Amino acid sequence: MKEKDIRPAHLLDEYLRLSKIDAKKFFSDRKSFIQIPCPACNSDLSYLLIEKHGFNYNICEKCNSIFLSPRPLEHSFEIFYKNSPSSNYWAETFFPSVAEARRELIFKNRVKKITDYCMEKKINHSNVIDVGAGYGIFLEEWKKIHKNDNIYALEPGEKLAEICRSKKIETLEKFSEDAKEWHSKGDLVTCFEVIEHVHSPLDFIKSLKMLTKKKGQVLVSGLSGDGYDIQMLGKDSNSVSPPHHLNFISIEGFEIMFKKAGFDKIDIITPGMLDFDIVKNAMNSENFFLYNNGFAKLISKRGEQAEKDFQRFLQKHKLSSHVWIFARHS
């Protein structure tokens, strides 16, 4: 899999262009922004790492998580996600254009990996809740393999919730923090690529726990600030996309947060496949920093096998920016 297979350049460029405009349009009142401690470990010790589109990302001196601070108030994001052109473009143009490619390249493989993990750890998955279910593709693919399981979509977006219902998936149109009627419902609760967007990651993780039965399992995936492409590219990383992405929690930060939230048996892996490809694509653009980065260029010169080996190294040592956290409700 290559970056262009799931994020075609013309679609990504338009999304980033709209995001930059939205950053100014929806968050012009910087006086209302608030300073926050590290959202992972709550440390007040941090310093400015990246400035982009008028937003500041700090890095925590204790756990190395990267986070937006000062950040807008939470209600500002509710307005932003409901009304911004970049959010609408992602939901109505970008994702539908790549949905089937992602089904084949991402979701089917995701179901297999989670199934294998559940078998290895003897995890019950009779009732599966997907939080931020989007178009319901993960649940569709899960049901194909696990025909006897009950599947549930938690999706706050009106249009996306309706799409899930059209696929005959029982759907609750709420945020996880408000989904009291589904408390203790899930044997397995999944949430993919949401954690980097939420205002308070710890509160969000606690809300996932409330949806999970005792001894049930949660799986969260998202972006880690420890990841190779984010570390290499910094402000030039397309993942560093304010105001959509607020949190790039470190591996240590994820461990701290999940323990604070009351989970045990926490397993963290970074199965990402695109880190070096993302850096290579940026390296081939007119970017002075990357042009002078000899190490990335040397790997690329060694050929495709070297690139694959290096990506496997990143996966093995938890250095990919794509992270999965498996955690059990204690």
Structural tokens at position 278? 């993302």
Is there a contact between 223 and 239 (Cβ–Cβ < 8 Å)? yes
Q: What is the mean pLDDT of each run of 10 residues along the chain (330 residues)?
A: 92 95 91 95 97 96 98 91 92 94 96 97 97 97 98 94 96 96 98 97 97 97 96 92 96 98 96 94 67 77 95 98 96
Q: For residue 96, what are its two tokens? A: 């539908």
If one counts every other C-beta atom within 10 angstroms of the C-beta of residue 179, the result is 21
Cα dihedral sign, 126-264-137-120: negative
- Residue 297: the pLDDT is 85
Q: Angle at the Cα of 275 (from 271 to 281), degrees rounded to 5? A: 150
Determine the pLDDT at residue 288.
Answer: 47
Q: Is 267 helix (H, G, I), strand (E, B) or coil?
A: strand
Q: What does the CA dihedral 248, 251, 254, 259 come to, rounded to 10 degrees?
A: -160
Q: How far is it, in rounded angstroms, from Cα 97 to Cα 166?
A: 19
Entry pTM: 0.94
Q: Report the alpha-carbon distance of residue 100 to residue 277 in Å, rounded.
A: 21
Domains of the chain and any CATH numbers: 3-329 (3.40.50.150)
Token pair 């009106």 is at which residue?
A: 158
For the record, the structure tokens of 157 come out as 């977006």
